[in-house]
Amino acid sequence: MSDGHSDGMDLEALRDGVRAVLTEQASHEKVAAFTNAEGVRDEPLWSQAAELGWLALSADEAHGGLGLGSSELAIVYEELGRALAPLPVLGTMLVVEALARGGDAAQQAAWTPRLAAGELAGAVSMLTPGDRTTRLTLSAGADGGVTLDGVAADLLDGAAADILLLLAREGEGLSWVLVEPALDGVVVEKVATVDRTRRLGEVRFDRLALPAGRVLMGDAGQIADALLAHAALALASDARGGANAVFEITLDYLKTREQFGKPIGSFQALKHRCADHKIALVASGALVAEAVARMASGDPAAGRYALAAKALATEVYARVAQDAVQLHGGIGYTWEHPCHLYLKRAKLNEQLFGGPAAYLDRVTDLLLAAA
């Protein structure tokens, strides 16, 4: 992730703008209120994000987008993580990317403008490194259409989505298929998670008939690899933003909370703990930045860096958030304090699209293959 300018936008101006909106519209109080409600996304904030063009950043200009890339997207993901914003941005951006890579002209024209405008939110099948298992099957249907059977579980943003992009087995191969939850017979059920700023979904299909043109024609494996790299970089950026935010909150607390007549942050043992966290944050942030820069430049090794960044940044986030609760001396896990929200988001980030071990194994395989 560059700290300078991309070809199309001043990145720091973008960061300042996104942060200013989220500071006002996604304060800790508003996020906490959302987690206690039954909504699946913050509708007013979603509308504002669409009006400001956040959802159009990566979409092609021919379809109402801004045609920008990873550097801009990473800024938005990082600020959303910093604010704990309850928005289904990642699922929507993944559908936009899949359409760009594997959709035909008609599919892109039908779906991308509506996704870029925020009229639709998207969700995709949960991929993991090196695993293309799916419980969905696709077969030929009537009038050139297809028929879908099976279960799609753990759909990130699935409960908030208006369009699902699902990986299904078709004969001996795999295909990506577009499904509207609004179709008769389709019900997406919310899946409870520890992180209540986001919602997973599960949907079951019993010979659901879909019209022609719902299957992406691009190579399913290549699309899956691209989506996994995108998701990894997004979660790494989200983790970078969240980890820095909860660390700053904790430092402020250590400067003001007193024991024995002194701020507890002046105690050597706590200074050392904070120094260790700062070193980890700088190291993981540098790896995320490198992964973003390689993705933005089209480096063939960018996917490997994205996977490594996800593994490290989410692990550091979880560690910092866990210790933030400890350093707050118990108040960090009350409903009124944001520390527990950061910890829960950090723990889910670690597991979304595969846990750390799967990422490290895949990075090792890719390094060996490249040697």
The DSSP result for 186-229, as a single string, is --EEEE--S-TTS-EEEEEEEEEEE-TT-B--S-HHHHHHHHHH
* Structure confidence at residue 108 (pLDDT): 97
- Alpha helices (runs of H) in the chain, residue ranges in sequence order: 11-25, 28-35, 43-51, 70-83, 89-102, 105-116, 220-256, 268-297, 302-327, 339-351, 356-370
* Structure confidence at residue 38 (pLDDT): 76
pLDDT, tens only, 14-46? 999 999 999 999 999 999 999 888 778 899 999
Angle at 31 between CA 45 and CA 285, to 5 degrees: 90
* Structure confidence at residue 1 (pLDDT): 34
Residues 295 and 298: their CA atoms lie apart, in Å, by 5
The 3-state DSSP class for residue 102 equals helix
pLDDT averaged over 10-residue windows placed end to end, the chain, 371 residues: 52 96 95 86 94 96 94 97 96 97 96 97 94 94 92 91 96 95 90 89 95 94 96 98 98 90 87 96 98 96 97 98 90 82 96 95 94 86
Residues 60 and 56: their CA atoms lie apart, in Å, by 8
Please give the structure tokens belonging to residue 216. 């992406």
* Structure confidence at residue 258 (pLDDT): 81
In this structure, are residues 278 and 340 in contact, taking their beta carbons and an 8 Å threshold? no
Q: Residues with Cβ < 8 Å from 16, sequence gap 6 or more?
A: none
Kindly state the helix (H) or strand (E) to which residue 135 belongs, with its residue range: strand 135-140
Please give the structure tokens belonging to residue 96. 């936009």
The pTM score is 0.95
Please give the structure tokens belonging to residue 232. 């990894």
